[in-house]
Structure 1
Amino acid sequence: RTMAASAAAQMSAAIGWQLLPQVQAYRLKQAQVNSCIDQLLQMDTAASMAPLMVAKVSRQFAAVSDLLAELAETINSTIALTRHRRTQARRLHLTDIPANPMSVILSLSALTTIAHLKSTARPIRNALRPIVRNIRLPKAIEVAGVGGVVQFDDQLSHGDVMKAMWVVEEGGEGGWGEVGDTLRVAKHCGNCQLPVTVGAGD
């Protein structure tokens, strides 16, 4: 990132040096034109100026006015785009945050808090999905006492994963403990294989 920032700064400086002579030449010509306009307005030229010259000056004023308007629009667009890119570059990308600190935060957060985080912005939602699926839900299964007994289908949508996490955590150790004991007895009797996979339909 440091190298990228340094390269961007060098490019910005190069562009600035490229534009500087043009800006200085423009300001010099602008000062000359303003001086000529002042002289023109101070003269009593209504009778002495030929109609053709008046028409020519008028056309050139109109043409230059259009060019200046176009130049102003281009400069404003360039400024706006540059500011937008700088703002984007300064924003912290959640994909750059290590998963471990985020998983710690999620492990200590209530389900409603996670749901609120999910709804804030797409980058946050995308960052939370793998952590909820791969860390929070398996941990909830272990805490409920059904590790190795119950698992959830890997093909569950993220919405279904959130529902599964809610069911496991809200069920608590007591509720799932009875389920786990029942399934272990069923396996011992040869009635099922463990772990039992719970799908979206379940």
Structure 2
Amino acid sequence: MMSGLEQKHSEISCLMYRLSALDPSDLSSHDCSLHMIAALDQYAKLRATLKALVKSATFPAPRTDASAKLEDLPADAMGRLQTSTDLTSVGRLKTTARLIKSHIRDALRSRLTDATDKAGLRGVVRFAPQLGDGGALKALWLMEEGGDWGEVGDGLRFAGQSGYCQLPITIDARDLQKHDTKTAYVSMPRVAAQWMIVGRHVVFRRRDGQQDGTFELFRDPTTNEIRAIRDEPDFAVTLNPPLSTDHVHPLQQHPFQQHLKRDDPPVRSAIGYTLHGQGGWVAIGLEYAETSVSTFIVDVIMYYHSCTHIDVHHIHGIQMEIDCGVRGGYLDTLLTRSPHTPLEGCSAVVTTEEVPVGSAYQTHLLTAFDDPFIAWVQFRVRLDHHQTVTAVLATTEQPVGSPYDAFPVRHPQTTARARRSLGFIAPVFLDGQTP
């Protein structure tokens, strides 16, 4: 019987040699992963059986009626298992199990890296190397089956550009525990569920280096309430909230609902930031509604950056009151289209509305996520007076030339991007032409 085990071990060793000669990427397909997981399970059972066999041979149990059938075995069968040669053979089988387990782990890692790249997160997200097999499988499911990661990837890129995280962030077991099960993950809108995993890696920092917390999302285990930044009731965010239609045609929905994205729904919150006293995040009385979770993410980062860099040495800007009807009603058309549509060449758009009724803000990010500075143009309009729009252009681009020069001269790169995106109203806003 021992010779039979040795023969099987020889066959397995031959197969393992052939497997070890392959590149891990060759074994990263779904079918290969399933076969390797099944093999690993079988080897775990084999290892347990062999350990029990060695134990029984080394420390024989008292003879019982149940073991009487062992008399049917050859007289020296149990003795042969106690020889050094036999134990070496058993050791080889255990080594083979470890080798295939290592090979499976390498293949899973390779597939996880490929899946992360295919999700558009290369250079943005990576997974901790110490994740166990269960963690690696969970991470793989998130990358392959957890939906599009584009919005969250852009949010992390913007946070990195703003100086609030170092890319790529490293997702570890603690992050993966944010959702105990797949059911818990899919029970939330996709973008919120994904940001709950990565948000704690975005650390708000003032210019002096002092930390102001992280952009983590929390879910209260009792009420399922979602909270942002602090796990406190005052920092709750409402997903897909009811929205006022006081200034909407009776036969129409609110624009945020007309253009609703199921995986990325509107958000309402009362989270603000104060510079008074020691400064920090606070719950304010006024609530704001955002078009989506992804715009909420970008807006909070931009809002914090503006609050903590507000002096003239870091953020520079100009503003102008413009009639909606100028240049063929360009602004009126712009502000009545989908709130998810950015201006030409812009990397993001954030549309915000004061709740219940106040002003609406639409902010277009003029710069790409890898630009050395951040610039944006914002349109503000009162919901009860649509005729006039306040246009604001702001940038962190360092000025050049004389302090007495006009904004377009002092900030040429920002001006070029604004001119590209503002279309017909660019000459009015940037050059002072008559409307």
Q: TM-score, normalised by structure 1?
A: 0.51
Q: 1:90 to 1:165 in 2, by over 3 A?
A: same
Q: Look up the equivalent residue of 1:170 and give its one-letter code.
A: E
What secondary structure sits across from 2:165 in the alignment?
Answer: coil
Q: Look up the equivalent residue of 2:19 and give its one-letter code.
A: I
What secondary structure sits across from 1:100 in the alignment?
Answer: coil
Match of 2:136 in 1: 161
Count the aligned residue pairs.
Answer: 120
* Greater RCO (Cα-Cα under 8 Å, separation 6 or more): 1
Alignment equivalent of 1:125, drawn from 60, 79, 101 = 101
- Residue range with higher mean Cα deviation, 81-90 or 147-156: 81-90
Alignment equivalent of 2:165, drawn from 192, 195, 202 = 192
Q: Look up the equivalent residue of 2:158 and give its one-letter code.
A: V
CA distance in 1, matches of 2:3, 2:165: 63
The answer (yes or no) to whether the contact 1:106–1:114 under 8 Å persists in 2 is no
CA distance in 2, matches of 1:90, 1:114: 17
Q: 1:129 to 1:111 in 2, by over 3 A?
A: closer
Deviation of 1:157 (Å): 1.6
Instruction: Mark the runs of 5 or more structure 2 residues left unpaired by the alignment.
Output: 45-96, 176-435
Match of 1:148 in 2: 123
Q: 1:191 to 1:148 in 2, by over 3 A?
A: same
The answer (yes or no) to whether the contact 2:116–2:143 under 8 Å persists in 1 is yes
Q: TM-score, normalised by structure 2?
A: 0.25
CA RMSD in angstroms comes to 2.6
CA distance in 2, matches of 1:154, 1:94: 24
Spell out the pairing of 1:167-178 with structure 2 (5 A cutoff).
Answer: 167-172=142-147, 174=148, 176-178=149-151
Deviation of 1:150 (Å): 0.4
CA distance in 2, matches of 1:118, 1:190: 43
Q: Look up the equivalent residue of 2:162 and give its one-letter code.
A: C
Match of 1:182 in 2: 155
Deviation of 1:97 (Å): 1.6
CA distance in 2, matches of 1:161, 1:98: 21
- 1:21-78 alpha-carbon deviations (Å, 9 max, x no partner): xxxxxxxxxxxxxxxxxxxxxxxxxxxxxxxxxxxxxxxxxxxxxxxxxxxxxxxxxx
Task: Specify which structure has the higher proportion of strand.
Answer: 2
The answer (yes or no) to whether the contact 1:94–1:127 under 8 Å persists in 2 is no
The answer (yes or no) to whether the contact 1:145–1:177 under 8 Å persists in 2 is yes
Deviation of 1:114 (Å): 5.8
Spell out the pairing of 1:68-107 with structure 2 (5 A cutoff).
Answer: 80-91=1-12, 92-98=14-20, 100=22, 103-107=25-29
Q: 1:199 to 1:102 in 2, by over 3 A?
A: closer
What secondary structure sits across from 1:145 in the alignment?
Answer: coil
Q: Look up the equivalent residue of 1:104 and give its one-letter code.
A: D
**Residue 139 in structure 1 maps to residue 61 in structure 2:** no
Q: Look up the equivalent residue of 2:152 and give its one-letter code.
A: V
Q: Look up the equivalent residue of 2:123 and give its one-letter code.
A: G
Q: 1:198 to 1:83 in 2, by over 3 A?
A: closer
CA distance in 2, matches of 1:115, 1:194: 32
CA distance in 1, matches of 2:150, 2:2: 58
Deviation of 1:183 (Å): 0.5
Deviation of 1:153 (Å): 1.0
The answer (yes or no) to whether the contact 2:115–2:140 under 8 Å persists in 1 is yes
Radius of gyration: which is bigger? 1
What secondary structure sits across from 1:194 in the alignment?
Answer: coil
CA distance in 1, matches of 2:8, 2:39: 22
Instruction: Mark the runs of 5 or more structure 1 residues left unpaired by the alignment.
Output: 1-79
Q: Look up the equivalent residue of 1:100 and give its one-letter code.
A: L
CA distance in 2, matches of 1:83, 1:170: 44
The answer (yes or no) to whether the contact 1:111–1:166 under 8 Å persists in 2 is no
Deviation of 1:86 (Å): 2.6
Identity level (%): 35
